[in-house]
């Protein structure tokens, strides 16, 4: 059994490659290795040594300044991030096809949450980021899934004869009885 998961393994279990990228960006910003100015991110000049290969990917990609969506996508699609998923599947913590946590993976996440040894954004995602601007920028990088496209939409509103908006289903005033008088 895997007893001491890294921050990025926990992030992958909690939210997949997207969460790994978000965690790397926030962690490096907190360390001072990255500066976030508006929607752009840039590695600082004397960059501290990377503690993990995912961090090395992000600092190398942002050496000349990049947009946050591009930086997140670069880490999300990097082979180093894919390697984390392969390792978790080999350990039996992720399912093989749908890439969701197994029972052992969920148990590991629950233990990590109760231990509270890692920042909240690792397990909860961008909703745990206190900086509202950064939270919005990172949340805007999420790729829509098939399930997002299948969510029910509110019914369309149409104007009735009086100019009021209604449900569009009231046809009582049209047509009358059908006889010409």
- Cβ distance 34 to 62 under 8 Å? yes
Residue 6 backbone dihedrals phi, psi, to 5 degrees? -75, 170
pLDDT (0 to 100) of residue 1: 45
Band (pLDDT 50/70/90 cuts) for residue 63 is: confident
pLDDT in tens, 14-44: 999 999 999 999 999 988 889 888 889 999 8
pLDDT (0 to 100) of residue 173: 53
The per-type count for the chain, helices as H runs and strands as E runs, is: 8, 5
Residue 7 CA neighbour count, 13 Å, CB half = 22
- Token readout for 153 is 């939409």
**162 pLDDT exceeds 70?**
no
What one-character DSSP code corresponds to residue 168? S
**5 pLDDT exceeds 60?**
yes
Give the residue among 88, 62, 94 at the shortest CA–CA distance from 75: 62
pLDDT (0 to 100) of residue 72: 93
**What is the chain's mean pLDDT, rounded?**
81
Mean pLDDT of 50-57: 90
Q: How far apart are CA 102 and CA 35, in angstroms?
A: 36
Q: How far apart are CA 143 and CA 30, in angstroms?
A: 24
Q: How far apart are CA 8 and CA 11, in angstroms?
A: 5
Q: How far apart are CA 34 and CA 16, in angstroms?
A: 22
Q: Give this prediction's pTM.
A: 0.73
pLDDT in tens, 95-153: 888 888 999 999 999 998 988 888 889 888 888 888 888 888 888 766 655 545 566 66
- Cβ distance 87 to 6 under 8 Å? no
């Amino acid at each position: 059994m895997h007893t001491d998961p890294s921050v990025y393994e926990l992030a992958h279990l909690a939210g997949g490659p997207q969460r790994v990228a978000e965690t790397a960006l926030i962690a490096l910003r907190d360390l001072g290795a990255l500066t976030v100015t508006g929607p752009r991110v840039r590695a600082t000049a004397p960059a501290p040594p990377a503690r993990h290969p995912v961090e090395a990917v992000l600092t190398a990609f942002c050496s000349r300044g990049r947009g946050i969506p591009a930086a997140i996508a670069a880490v999300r699609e990097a082979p180093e991030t894919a390697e984390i998923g392969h390792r978790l599947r080999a350990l039996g913590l992720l399912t093989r096809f749908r890439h969701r946590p197994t029972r052992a993976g969920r148990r590991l996440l629950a233990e990590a949450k109760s231990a509270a040894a890692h920042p909240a954004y690792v397990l909860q995602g961008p909703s745990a980021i206190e900086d509202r601007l950064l939270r919005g920028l990172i949340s805007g990088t999420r790729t829509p899934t098939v399930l997002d496209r299948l969510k029910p939409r509110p019914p369309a509103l149409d104007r009735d004869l009086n100019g009021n908006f209604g449900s569009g289903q009231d046809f009582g005033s049209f047509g009358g009885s059908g006889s010409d008088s």
